[in-house]
């Protein structure tokens, strides 16, 4: 098997464990493999790694689109396709779901310098940032809370705002009962600030 990138190789190995009687592994002309349902109409799929994410793309009506969006027929620009097992080579319908764009960004596993998701250093202490649908919320908690406590606060408020759509948290989701989530949300609600949405950059003729 030809090595592509470390992340692709990791996902590729998992395909052998995921394939079943209702799915099949296809290989494009460059030797990249991906998993789809048996009823998928074969067409050329390009695969690339970008920003620590392996992306499958397909040409539909002369326009490039992610393979997941094509399979689920997603046309709304505010919605995206999320891979439940976080293996973007696994494009079986059972592994795909439609989510708001911000939720998809929240669930994407990425590598950065932060110890806890959603927590960053600020000149006056810690800042917590939560994405919910098309909005971004921030809290400035100062130095009253440790980085670990801020990670727990982030988890509770993200679960409150996004519910079951949240797949990745700093700590095990079983640690957070509905009562804990509600109490944390009510406690920090006065500190939550809605960030202004930046206007999209449009090209003018």
With both helix axes pointing from N to C terminus, report the angle between 147-162 and 178-188 in degrees, rounded to the nearest 10.
Answer: 110
What are 4-46's pLDDT values in tens digits? 678 788 888 899 999 999 999 999 888 889 999 999 987 889 8
Entry pTM:
0.55
Over residues 185-200, mean pLDDT: 75
Average of pLDDT values for 167-189?
90
Write out the two tokens for 37: 């349902």
pLDDT digits (tens, 9 = 90+) for 81-102: 888 888 889 999 999 988 877 6
Mean pLDDT of 121-140: 75
Position 112 scores a pLDDT of 46
| Confidence (pLDDT) at 104 | 64
Structural domain boundaries of the chain?
Answer: 6-107, 119-194
- In angstroms, the CA 138 to CA 154 distance is 10
Q: What is the pLDDT of residue 108?
A: 58
């Amino acid at each position: 098997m030809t090595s592509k990138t470390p992340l692709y190789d990791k996902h590729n190995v998992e395909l052998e464990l995921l394939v079943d009687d209702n799915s099949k592994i296809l290989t494009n002309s460059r030797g990249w493999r991906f998993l789809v349902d048996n009823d998928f109409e074969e067409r050329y799929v390009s695969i690339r790694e970008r920003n620590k994410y392996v992306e499958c793309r397909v040409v539909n009506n002369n326009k490039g689109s992610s393979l997941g969006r094509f399979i689920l027929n997603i046309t709304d620009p505010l919605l995206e396709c999320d891979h439940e097992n976080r293996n973007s080579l696994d494009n079986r319908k059972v592994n795909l779901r439609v989510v708001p764009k911000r939720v998809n960004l929240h669930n994407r596993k990425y590598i950065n310098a932060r110890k806890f998701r959603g927590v960053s250093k600020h000149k006056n202490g810690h800042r917590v940032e939560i994405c919910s649908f098309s909005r971004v919320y921030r809290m400035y908690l100062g130095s009253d809370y440790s980085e670990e406590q801020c990670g727990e606060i982030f988890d509770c408020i993200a679960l409150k705002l996004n519910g079951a759509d949240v797949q990745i948290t700093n700590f095990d989701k079983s640690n957070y009962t509905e009562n804990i989530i509600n109490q944390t949300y009510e406690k920090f609600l006065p500190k939550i600030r809605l960030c202004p949405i930046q206007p999209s950059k449009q090209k003018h003729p």
